[in-house]
Amino acid sequence: MTTKQIIDLLPYSKPFLFVDELEKINEDGVTGSFTFDPQLDFYKGHFKGNPVTPGVILTETMAQIGVVCLGVFLLSAEENEFNGQVAMTSSNVEFLRPVFPGEKVTVIAEKIYFRFNKLKCKITMQNEAGVKVCYGELAGMFIRKANG
């Protein structure tokens, strides 16, 4: 499965798709990136006169790249078909630095485990300078549909 096919299978679309590119993906993890368009609606009110990317959006970006993209890849490796259903089951994220409009971030995820339809990953987000902006552990449950 190509990285483009993985992105095409994601159950998101703009303006809520936070994956531009997957640079690397294998059974142990994924690395991907996203650039925050300064025109995204949430910047209009977060914060007045000094917009920054909300933590919930940073967490969502980490989840889309680090959990959902990796889960789609792992399901395809097991010859299962992803049917577009995934739910976040846990998150623990520490925020270190702000991410501003127009910034490109890279998400690096390492699989902790994938069993019983649950994927848990250790995830780090860094800015273009390679500085860590947030990190944590995220997990999600996938609905599998076996090929048949």
Q: Give the separation between CA 134 and CA 108, rounded to whole angstroms.
A: 11
| Residue 46 is a catalytic residue | yes
Q: Which of 46, 118, 120, 122 is catalytic?
A: 46
Which strands sit side by side in the sheet containing 80-95, from one edge to the other?
21-26, 29-35, 104-115, 118-127, 132-146, 80-95
Q: How far apart are the first and last CA of the chain?
A: 18
Q: Among all chains, which residue has been given the structure tokens 């078909």?
A: 81
Q: Which residues are catalytic?
A: 46
